[in-house]
Structure 1
């Protein structure tokens, strides 16, 4: 893919209805923001022609950013040394890149995971901006929007809302009111006194300055902390039709569990087999759970930020390998783990944040020391209800492809609504070592 950058610049919010106070504002990170991975998450959208012009799309983006000003803020520290967003300061803004592609969009459809996709968005290594957007115009008039955002600004649910809002603005639909709670996070408050009913060390956070002793469990970590040359890791898509899920997988669990729980349990079993893990080795699925509606009271509907928790299901490899009843048992473990990420756990997390707030950057999420090989851990991310597919820019063209870009992290599963299907099919982006990927592909639809 030959991509030629035409220009790059910084875009700032413009227009009426800004949610930003008049003066620069320091917005402290919540404990949920601090628990997220410290990287940019990048995605690519492909739209068939005709699509709105770049100026029209950028005008819509600038107006939309007025409603989501943290996206154009800066990640920094306040006077106490605690991490915060600086909104409305001298820096910030969103990086915009305009580029042309020598080929036609149809040459690259359907979109498949590939390092080539990295050319369609700005580099995510040490970026200067929290939000980066690249508009790629193909020779045929097709458009690929490459976008990345720092995860500490927002989770998938919030980014889905932002992208849907940008799409509405591009289609001329008036913007809704600014998120009323953007600068009021007082509802995320600890009890008095704060208390933690759950263990958050080693599951949500680690402490880099604790030394090597593990007598208090704070250095306990579930990942192997292994790394390999990224070239040894490959990404690929597995497609599961609605018929396969409803007529093959769910009957094996007596229809007890959701599509996500059932399919994740199936993939957990298959990836464990493809990795060739010993039968007595404990494997773990780490699931990101949206707790907006699980909190007590539920989070405001228009909250923009991070509100996710980690859930963990664990089993011996031999247990997962059992043919008769193995899928149902795995699905039950996934279901029970997700159920534990409830309002009580969320409140315990908030209290944990209050108790350890002064520790600043020494309080890091569990992702902080992981290498790029997670085995025997599986990291599962569901994008099935995040509204990413609702981004429509108008102009007569249609969304014809959506993918996260190349992610060299072994053991990652990202669940996506199947492209072109409205009946419940699911595409799963799988990231594995190349030497194990072929085995995974061969057994991916086997019910054994």
Structure 2
């Protein structure tokens, strides 16, 4: 729990929840993607919901029972970290249990949390294990669930050890938790706990006595805001990046593709693919990469990242010669050969940095900035993933999270994560929010918009002065819908 709770938030009860079945899963060795996260805070993500029609006591009981059943499908979350005599760190699936907190903050209403601009600081107190470093999973629970009762709603917040899960694994757990609570019987997203890939290494990570600390200043003043982008705005931005003309016909075809996707029970990602593929094929002119003799297509998300990179670089007023960094986390599950299972449990991510001078980022066009990102992401295939593993094995180290030179940005999370596919029995979330964890000047998190179909929310954390200038940047704000 936070060391000092606001007067308006009080804890009603705190208990341990255990799996409803005894685990038989063997200890899981932390991988080369897990170990660097030992210095990071626990992931803190959660959903804002309307208040159900049944009593809060029934809600708490429902969630506890559902959580107990879900933990039996995810035994590592109910375990602890252990270090053996050789320095290897494992998750022991010992059914030690997870924290469950019931709190009240009835001074807050749903509309307070749905602030269209800056995220209320009160939201940060809706999460347990605040600013807890993942290494402490040796004695702290790997997972904590806090249910906060609001005046007219409920917030379900989860804090989970970042050395145990990445975003893919976290949202698979959260989706399953919701499905169990609403009485689901068929689970197609069964987590894969195998530890047989190149990510499992013989290298030992040497850590200081007492464990690592976070690598950034947790006390620096920060401003935070969620910027929302409609589907139309993003498609217009993508068309601009790819030097294509946007017309109302594009929007009509995109709408038809969305309807078609829903009728055929396609996922949101599939609907987006239908829309974008049509636009790629039917928009002129095509942009040719003469070096590789192929058409270089910049994605919607890369276009959005490039727009933000340019705007934040302008707002920071950096010297033209200053090297800026835009860092993106990529999922390696499908990049490795042989591929990992889609629901491989653990971290399977690597960080891709793209470098460019502040002068180039600010002065060159959007297409150029997006191409730098596109080239790095496209090149990050099986060979590059393996090179990164080998590089880490030569020098095992924790992940240096932060903005050390004042010119860096780090994009995390993903608009493809199924954050709104969470109905616990009385409706989907109204919004997704995060806690204080792992936030510093330049930390960006990408969420899908609640409406789906290609909408995106960017949770942007910046120095207050930089945020103020970003909010007055006309090129950036013309695409923002809130």
| Residue aligning to 1:238 | 227
Selected match of 2:177 from 160, 166, 171: 166
* TM-score, normalised by the number of residues in structure 2: 0.76
Does residue 1:124 correspond to 2:130, yes or no?
Answer: yes
| Residue aligning to 1:41 | 43
For the 8 Å contact 2:113–2:123, the answer to whether it is kept is no
| Residue aligning to 1:50 | 52
- Secondary structure of residue in 1 paired with 2:477: coil
Deviation of 1:26 (Å)? 2.8
For the 8 Å contact 2:99–2:145, the answer to whether it is kept is yes
For residues 423-447 of structure 1, give each alpha carbon's deviation from its aligned partner in whole angstroms, at most 9, with x where no partner exists: 3221111111112211011113259
- Give me the whole-angstrom Cα distance separating, in 1, the residues matched to 2:218 and 2:418: 34
| Residue aligning to 1:312 | 353
- Secondary structure of residue in 1 paired with 2:378: helix
For the 8 Å contact 2:35–2:205, the answer to whether it is kept is no
For the 8 Å contact 2:110–2:150, the answer to whether it is kept is no
- Give me the whole-angstrom Cα distance separating, in 1, the residues matched to 2:421 and 2:230: 20
| Residue aligning to 2:477 | 445
- Secondary structure of residue in 1 paired with 2:82: strand
Deviation of 1:292 (Å)? 0.9
| Residue aligning to 1:375 | 406
| Residue aligning to 1:326 | 365
* CA spacing shift, 1:76–1:117, aligned 2, 3 Å: same
Does residue 1:347 correspond to 2:386, yes or no?
Answer: yes
| Residue aligning to 2:98 | 94
Does residue 1:366 correspond to 2:377, yes or no?
Answer: no
- Give me the whole-angstrom Cα distance separating, in 1, the residues matched to 2:207 and 2:372: 31
For the 8 Å contact 1:373–1:409, the answer to whether it is kept is no
- Give me the whole-angstrom Cα distance separating, in 1, the residues matched to 2:161 and 2:456: 26
Deviation of 1:406 (Å)? 3.6
For the 8 Å contact 1:99–1:137, the answer to whether it is kept is yes
Deviation of 1:365 (Å)? 2.3
* CA spacing shift, 1:96–1:317, aligned 2, 3 Å: same
* TM-score, normalised by the number of residues in structure 1: 0.81
- Give me the whole-angstrom Cα distance separating, in 2, the residues matched to 1:296 and 1:75: 29
Show the 5 A alignment for 1:64-143: 64-88=70-94, 92-103=96-107, 105-111=109-115, 113-126=119-132, 128-140=140-152, 142-143=153-154
- Give me the whole-angstrom Cα distance separating, in 2, the residues matched to 1:166 and 1:31: 28
For the 8 Å contact 1:234–1:433, the answer to whether it is kept is yes
Give the RMSD, CA atoms, in angstroms. Answer: 2.9
* CA spacing shift, 1:310–1:207, aligned 2, 3 Å: farther
- Give me the whole-angstrom Cα distance separating, in 1, the residues matched to 2:452 and 2:402: 37
Selected match of 1:391 from 389, 405, 422: 422
Show the 5 A alignment for 1:151-162: 151-162=162-173
| Residue aligning to 2:259 | none
* CA spacing shift, 1:352–1:434, aligned 2, 3 Å: closer
- Give me the whole-angstrom Cα distance separating, in 2, the residues matched to 1:336 and 1:154: 28
* CA spacing shift, 1:226–1:4, aligned 2, 3 Å: closer
- Give me the whole-angstrom Cα distance separating, in 1, the residues matched to 2:141 and 2:159: 10
For the 8 Å contact 2:327–2:351, the answer to whether it is kept is yes
* CA spacing shift, 1:266–1:138, aligned 2, 3 Å: same
Show the 5 A alignment for 1:6-17: 6-15=12-21
- Of 61-70 and 253-262, deviating more is 253-262
For residues 155-179 of structure 1, give each alpha carbon's deviation from its aligned partner in whole angstroms, at most 9, with x where no partner exists: 1011111111111101100253895
For the 8 Å contact 1:283–1:314, the answer to whether it is kept is yes
- Of 38-47 and 109-118, deviating more is 109-118
Matched pairs, number: 399
For the 8 Å contact 2:42–2:129, the answer to whether it is kept is no
Does residue 1:257 correspond to 2:298, yes or no?
Answer: yes
Selected match of 2:24 from 4, 20, 23: 20
Show the 5 A alignment for 1:424-435: 424-435=454-465
Show the 5 A alignment for 1:259-274: 259-274=300-315
For residues 319-353 of structure 1, give each alpha carbon's deviation from its aligned partner in whole angstroms, at most 9, with x where no partner exists: 1112xx52100100011111232211222344456
Deviation of 1:418 (Å)? 1.8
For the 8 Å contact 1:122–1:132, the answer to whether it is kept is yes
